[in-house]
Structure 1
Amino acid sequence: MNLETDDLIERLATRHKPIRRLPPPRKRALYWLLIALCGVAAVVVLMSPRDDLAAKLTDTRFLIEELAALATAVAAAFSAFCLIVPGHSRAVALLPAPPLVIWLGSLGHGCWQAWLSFGDEAWRLSPEWVCLPAIAVVGAIPALTMVAMLQKGAPIAPRMTVMLGALAAAALGNVGLRLFHPQDASLMVLVWQFGSVALLSLLAGWGGRQVLAWRHVGNA
């Protein structure tokens, strides 16, 4: 070995902290979910649960949509944590697709049922601008926790990773929103709530390279 190699080995051995292996994606997703659920629960309690919550918890369509949104959040979180580990296939990004389709399908079925019952009146859409900021607020702790955890991995596919992380946070935010915001008309939920989740996810993905970037080690 020459002097440069010896010097490099010495620097690596004495000046840099040892790398600690990250927990497996499933464990990281579980840790994230526990923290995120606590944050969402705190917001729901602060905002006060909706008066008809007990009745809604016996409503099959409401439960399907809430569980599908929750499953979407968990699957998206797991996928995001997989994508920051070298060697994982990017096909894991498709994992949230099945619960997302169930969620969207339930909303679509609700729109169809409303049209059969009320005709063209079912397509009347009123502004619900509160949904976007509300989902962002409810999903704030899940989102911040997600970013902090993702930044510990390798930004191999930053845009896709951040989009999935945002989808996880926004979907969980929507779960919380529906526990205190009494808006259940399928078209309204589809456009303003599901639409807000999609918009937040796409915007976050667009800025993924700024959120996740390779960290360069200096020569000191």
Structure 2
Amino acid sequence: MSEPVRHHALVDALVGGLEPVRPLPAPMLRALAWLAAVLGLAVVLMPMADTAGLHARLGTPDLRVAALGAGLTAVAAALAAFVTSVPGRSLRWALLPVAPAALWIGASGLGCLRGWGAPGTDLADGDAGGCFAFLVGVSLPLSVLLVAMLRRACPLHPNLTAALGGLAAAAAAATLLVPFHPHDATATDLAIHAVTVLGVIGLNGLAGGRLLGRGPRPGR
């Protein structure tokens, strides 16, 4: 057998059992798919919201800006997570949520500095625990969905990608909390929110990072 024939036979043996891999959609489309799930959850929860209190809270400038910042953070962090999950993409995408997150944090902090509050939004016993339960209860399923979607890619920095996913999930949960938030911003309330958000990001970075680091799941 001649040398070229042997090479062709070897190539045929190596690729004979391979199946074509379906390429993943663009990161933007995958991020939009996850955000659509967040929107669907919002539609399900909205009938239970306190619409009268929502109008009062959104009438307060810093609360309105904080809600906008949280929503923009969820969008930016989700897009950054999907982009960084693709090998070869610049890690600078991880900086995308920085500006909206600063807006979210800064506007939330203003509620602790001013001496007046939104009408009918006094802090009541048990409210802080309810906010914590809501943030955790919404963040966890959104995180699981996001990690499952990210596993189809092959992130070279799985912990970073997973942490961005955690930020997206936590910010989305904070945005969805606005219609249910029973009181104006206080130092205690802000601290509970911060601890919860950081906990979600850290859990995603560790647990989600391990799952993403096990390799790609193409076609699954």
| TM-score, normalised via structure 1 length | 0.82
Does the Cα contact within 8 Å between 1:32 and 1:146 map onto a contact in 2?
yes
Amino acid at match of 2:73: T
Say if 2:113 is the partner of 1:112: yes
Looking at structure 2, the residues matched to 112 and 57 of structure 1 have their Cα atoms a distance apart, in angstroms, of 18
Q: How does 1:140-179 map to 2 (within 5 A)?
A: 140-179=140-179
Looking at structure 2, the residues matched to 103 and 209 of structure 1 have their Cα atoms a distance apart, in angstroms, of 25
Say if 2:84 is the partner of 1:83: yes
Looking at structure 1, the residues matched to 105 and 44 of structure 2 have their Cα atoms a distance apart, in angstroms, of 27
Query: Relative to 1, partners in 2 of residues 1:107 and 1:20: Cα closer, same or farther, differing over 3 Å?
Result: same
Looking at structure 2, the residues matched to 6 and 183 of structure 1 have their Cα atoms a distance apart, in angstroms, of 73
* DSSP 3-state at the match of 1:32: helix
Does the Cα contact within 8 Å between 1:159 and 1:205 map onto a contact in 2?
yes
Match of residue 25 from structure 2:
23
Match of residue 96 from structure 1:
97
Match of residue 131 from structure 2:
131
Amino acid at match of 1:201: I
Match of residue 9 from structure 2:
6
Query: Relative to 1, partners in 2 of residues 1:8 and 1:72: Cα closer, same or farther, differing over 3 Å?
Result: same
Looking at structure 1, the residues matched to 22 and 73 of structure 2 have their Cα atoms a distance apart, in angstroms, of 29
Query: Relative to 1, partners in 2 of residues 1:8 and 1:183: Cα closer, same or farther, differing over 3 Å?
Result: farther
Does the Cα contact within 8 Å between 2:167 and 2:200 map onto a contact in 1?
yes
* DSSP 3-state at the match of 2:129: coil
Q: Which moved more, 1:14-23 or 1:171-180?
A: 14-23
Looking at structure 2, the residues matched to 49 and 216 of structure 1 have their Cα atoms a distance apart, in angstroms, of 39
* DSSP 3-state at the match of 1:52: helix
**Where do 5+ consecutive residues of structure 1 fail to align?**
119-123
Match of residue 56 from structure 2:
55
Looking at structure 1, the residues matched to 171 and 23 of structure 2 have their Cα atoms a distance apart, in angstroms, of 29
Q: Which moved more, 1:133-142 or 1:104-113?
A: 133-142
Match of residue 43 from structure 1:
45
Q: How many residues align?
A: 207
Match of residue 120 from structure 2:
none
Does the Cα contact within 8 Å between 2:143 and 2:204 map onto a contact in 1?
no
Does the Cα contact within 8 Å between 2:154 and 2:215 map onto a contact in 1?
no
Does the Cα contact within 8 Å between 1:164 and 1:201 map onto a contact in 2?
yes
Query: Relative to 1, partners in 2 of residues 1:174 and 1:104: Cα closer, same or farther, differing over 3 Å?
Result: same
State the shift of 1:11 in Å: 4.3
* 1:81-129: CA deviation from partner (whole Å, max 9, x where unpaired): 0111111111211110101111111122221113xx69xxxxx9x8723
| TM-score, normalised via structure 2 length | 0.82
Query: Relative to 1, partners in 2 of residues 1:216 and 1:24: Cα closer, same or farther, differing over 3 Å?
Result: closer
Q: Percent identity?
A: 32
* 1:151-203: CA deviation from partner (whole Å, max 9, x where unpaired): 01012111111110011011101111221131322323421123311221022
